[in-house]
Amino acid sequence: MNSDTLINVLYVDDEVHNLNSFKAGFRRKFNVFTAESAVEGRKVLDSELIHVIITDQRMPVTTGIEFLESIIPDYPDPIRILLTGYADINAVIDAINKGQVYKYIQKPWMDEDLRINIEKAYEIYSLRKENRELTEALLVANKQLEFLLRQNLLS
């Protein structure tokens, strides 16, 4: 990871002390955005380019998986991490299948482990972005080559 790159991380959790703890632990390493609900999380996504989304599973109104699933059509690119204090195999399965979750991490998190997982998630984000850009450039180059080939065939 380039040390000049600031990773934009959104953490959604209804427990304010978890948000404060996350922000205190990671604000020097990442651009940290926090939200106390799925609605607030969507507002952040509407206004900021987010690379990694971390969400708590058990929240009132909307679960973490429901939030992640609901944003996929509008925000497919951020890499998703589900953070929870409860071990529930059905939640893990739903997280992977519905929410396209990259990692499932249990609370309380270990700062170093979470930092590494955020950085790895950002690597995936960057590689996917680079892959899309290279594919687009290749398509343009192919169209130009086809045009030149047609020009040569006609002359």
Instruction: Pick the most confident of 2-11, 56-65, 126-135.
Output: 126-135
Residue 155 is predicted with a pLDDT of 67
Residue 133, classified by CB atoms within 10 Å of its CB into exposed (0-12), middle (13-18) or buried (19+), is exposed
What total number of domains does the chain contain?
Answer: 1
In a domain? residue 145: no
Q: What is the mean pLDDT of residues 4-16?
A: 91
Model confidence at 148, pLDDT cuts 50, 70, 90, reads confident
The closest of 90, 92, 113, 112 to 102, measured between CA atoms, is 92
Please say whether the beta carbons of 102 and 51 come within 8 A. Answer: no
Which pLDDT value is given to residue 9? 98
Question: Per-residue pLDDT tens for 58-115?
Answer: 899 999 999 999 999 999 999 999 988 876 677 677 667 676 888 888 889 999 999 9
More confident residue, 134 or 2: 134
Residue 42: predicted pLDDT: 97
Judge whether residue 154 has pLDDT over 80.
no
Q: What is the CATH number of the domain that holds 71?
A: 3.40.50.2300
Is residue 112 in some structural domain? yes
Question: Is 152 inside any structural domain?
Answer: no
Give residue 86's pLDDT. Answer: 73
Average pLDDT over residues 34-38: 97
Give residue 71's domain range. 8-129
The mean pLDDT value of the chain amounts to 90
14 within some domain: yes
139 belongs to a structural domain = no
48 domain residue, yes or no? yes
Whether residue 68 lies inside any domain: the answer is yes
Return the C-alpha torsion angle 34, 37, 40, 42, nearest 10: 100
